[in-house]
Structure formats: structure tokens, C-alpha cells
A = this chain, B = another copy of it.
Amino acid sequence: MILDKRKIKILSAIIEDYIATAEPIGSRTIAKKYHIGISPATIRNEMADLEELGYISQPHTSAGRVPSNKGYRFYVDFLMPKQKLSPEEQILIGKLFKRRIGELEELVEEAAGVISKLTSYTTIILGPQLDTCGIKYIQISQLEEGKGLLIIVTDCGTISHNIIEIPSSLTESDLTKITNLLNDKLIGKTFSDISNEMIDTIKSEIIEYDEVLNILLDVLMQSLDDTCEQSKIVYSGSSKMLEYPEFKDVEKVKNFLTLLEQQVLLSKALKTTSKPDGITVTIGTENPLEEFQDYSLVTASFALGGKNLGICGIIGPTRMEYSKVVTVLKKFTDYLNRLSE
């Protein structure tokens, strides 16, 4: 059954009012506040229909109506009005990009702050999946006897440093040679490209060097593996959630904060709900991960020059200002995309 115009108007009113006030909304209020030109009694009839169809529900008999997840979904898909950001808000986002293009990490951290500020929800940003990043620059330098520094810069803008053990018999020039060789062989490759065979090839090419190089290469491989696994999660505005009346209960707050502390889970949630480009909205029980079914999650994958740089997620109550959140995220990714032109 398709909703007729009047039902849509009523549903829309219920959802927007509930998003704004967090209070169940009754027929009288709708009639008064949203001048649809029909009486509360008629609205009641329509609401009964909407409830039967699963778009809204009643917390208890004598309360007003509250949107269901299905209702929010309909709203997000069809009803949600486009919003405009205020000039100040635009500037705030713009500022993120108006500085020397440095490291991705800095941008991500600042971005999380700004987005959380603009939306008033908690923002989680998952850094790039390193295994899909190409290696742009690789270097080993000697720090001190037996200790070296391995630097890897990727085309995703990440820089990683690892301290590695270096057999002390190696000379500076050995290291330079290895560095050059690694650059030759590995630049342009992604982390996941780097297989054991590839390392074996490198090993065979430096057969002239002695056994210690093997050791070094093994250490390197290990280090690459380690690096690959750390895809950083940054979050900002964890206390934002407490502003909302649905979190007046400490138990709920605890659940939420505990959730935020589980990086693996967050990362999984962002990965499973996002899609490679564009913005997704996952409402309550739509989320396959049980832990998130009390929340809504809006994600945006952001990319630069086709490279996936990470995922930005905004988490809030299902009664979320979807319109606002989507607008902010869209603006943000737009800026990023424009950057790559």
C-alpha cells in the first residue's frame, strides 16, 4: 500500500516533531502545529492506519505516536528535506581544507572535531585500510647500533614509522642499497600485493649479501604486517550523546561509552554499513551488528583520486537529525572530491 499525500504529511509531521522534541506527538498537536486543515479525529484515523502499516507506534495507550525504524527509513528515503548549511558552517568545513596539504592523520583528526561540532553527534573516523594503499616511499635509516627506523609513506597520505632491529654488521651503505632496492621493487605496490614470493625475489637479487640481510628482510616483513593492521580510529564528541534525553539513564550512557571503546567493533560497523562511495544511513535494527541496534549510524566513505581514504561515521540516537547529518557529510565529501581534481 502506498501512502497517500495526507498520510505522508502526517507522518512527516510526526517524525520531524519527534526529532525536534523527543516527545511522542498526539493528534491535537499535529492539527494545531502543522495546519493540515483536518480535525484531530481524522488525524487519529490516519494515525491508526500508519500504525497498522508499521510506520509509527505508541509507547503506551494514552501516549502520542513515535516513529518506528520503518518510519525513519521512509523519511530518509523519500521525505527528508534538503538542508542548507549556514555560511559559518560552510566556513568551518572549508577551513579544514584551506591549509597546506599535510598528513592525512591531521586532517582526519580535525575533521572529526568539526563534524561532531556541526552535527552535535559523536563522530568516528576510520583511517584508510592500509592494505589497499600503495607504497609511495620507503626508507630504512640507522638510528643507533642495532636499531633502525623504517619509514613508509603511502599514497593515501599516511606515514608510518617503526623501529626495527638491524643486524649490527650492516653498514650505512648496505642500508642505502637495501633502501634503494626496496624502493625499486615495492613502490606502487600495495601492502596486500607484497607477498612472500616478492620478498623471496628480492632476497634472491641480493644473494651477494650475506645472511644478515635475510634477517633484516624478515623483520621488515613483520613490520609491514604490523603497520598494515593498524588502521586508526579517531572519535570526537563522545559526550555529545549525553545531551539527548534518551540517554538520561546512566546505564545507556555506559553502554554507549563501552561501545566507543571497542575499536574493533566500531571499525567493523563502519565497514559493513558503508558503501564505497556516497552516504549510507543505517537505522537502529537495520544494523546487522546487535550492539548498534539502539543507534543510527550515518557513514560516508571519503576518497581522493579514486583511493579510499577512510570512512566517516556519525552515531546518534535513531531519533537523529538525518537531514542535517547527511548535509554536513555531503559537504565534507564534496570538498574532498573537489580537492582531487
Contacts and interface: CB of A to CB of B under 8 A. Distances in A.
Nearest to A250: B248
A67 to B, nearest CB: 24
Contacts of A247: 250
A153 B149 contact: yes
Please classify the interface of chain A as helix (H, G, I), strand (E, B), loop, or mixed, using the class held by over half of its residues.
mixed
Contacts of A153: 143, 149
A171 B2 CA distance: 69
Nearest to A136: B143
A141 B139 contact: yes
Interface string A243-267: 1000111100110011011000000
Interface stretch (A33-41, A45-53, A125-133, A155-163): A155-163
A295 to B, nearest CB: 16
Interface in A101-141: 101-103, 136-137, 139, 141
Contacts of A143: 136-137, 153
Contacts of A257: 238-239, 242, 257
B137 A149 contact: yes
Task: Give the number of copies in the complex.
Answer: 2
A165 interface: yes
A170 interface: no
A242 B248 CA distance: 13
Interface string A76-110: 00000000000000000000000011110000000
A179 B247 CA distance: 55
A336 interface: no
B102 A163 contact: yes
B159 A159 contact: no
Contacts of A159: 149, 161, 163
Contact of A149 (B151, B238, B254): B151
Nearest to A160: B161
B250 A238 contact: no
Contacts of A102: 162-163
Interface centre among A100, A151, A237, A250 (most CB of B within 10 A): A250
